[in-house]
Amino acid sequence: MSKVISLTLDSASIDAAIAELKSYNAWVKTKADELARRLADMGAVNVSLGYSRAVYTGLNDISVTVEQRGVNSYAIVANGEAVLFVEFGAGVTYGYGHPEPSVEGVPMGPGTYPNGKGHWDDPRGWWIPGGEHTYGNPPSMTMYLTAKDLRNQLESIAQEVFSS
């Protein structure tokens, strides 16, 4: 939204223009926060659904929340022991294919948890606690795909938010 402020060179007009600018600045800040929150909320719904539908043999204990991290800053947070297994995949059979194999320098994917130990690379699979047999699971890439989707929708969502 563009804003035109007209004024004349007298103190009353300048004071009115300053007041209008302050009001516009507050409106922009409110809309920016609304945009950030809306993107985070939309993303959290998508992430929750994606993780709940993911192929995973183990206990899917993932919970998703939105946390405010500062002014106009929100984070979609996934908690649970299964998060990395579901997002990045597990096992030699299915655990490859995530386009971001590391996060902030920490390697993710097959053989990285716990430190390459265990039976992740056994082509016969392994037994998980509770007696289930698995060959691992494919990466769901839920966070990655949600971020990509939100970036693609950003302009249209921003237009909606700032036009209301």
The tens digit of pLDDT for each residue in 114-158 reads 565 566 666 776 667 777 777 778 889 999 999 999 999 999 999
Identify the pLDDT of residue 102: 64
CB 110 within 8 Å of CB 89: yes
Identify the pLDDT of residue 118: 61
Residue 91: pLDDT above 90? no
3-class state of residue 65 by DSSP: strand
Residue 23: pLDDT above 90? yes
Task: Using the Cα atoms of residue 11, residue 12, residue 17 and residue 22 in order, give the sign of their dihedral.
Answer: positive
Contacts of 106 (CB under 8 A, 6+ apart): none
The tens digit of pLDDT for each residue in 57-88 reads 888 999 999 999 998 999 999 999 999 889 88
Identify the pLDDT of residue 41: 97
- What is the percent of the chain with per-residue pLDDT over 90, rounded to a whole number? 55
Q: What is the DSSP annotation of 111-136?
A: T-TTTT-SSTT-TT-EEETTTEEE--
Q: Which residue has the higher pLDDT, 19 or 101?
A: 19
Overall pTM surpassing 0.85 (yes/no): no
- Average pLDDT, stretch 14-26? 94
Q: Torsion angle of alpha carbons 79, 147, 99, 141, nearest 10°?
A: 50
Identify the pLDDT of residue 115: 60
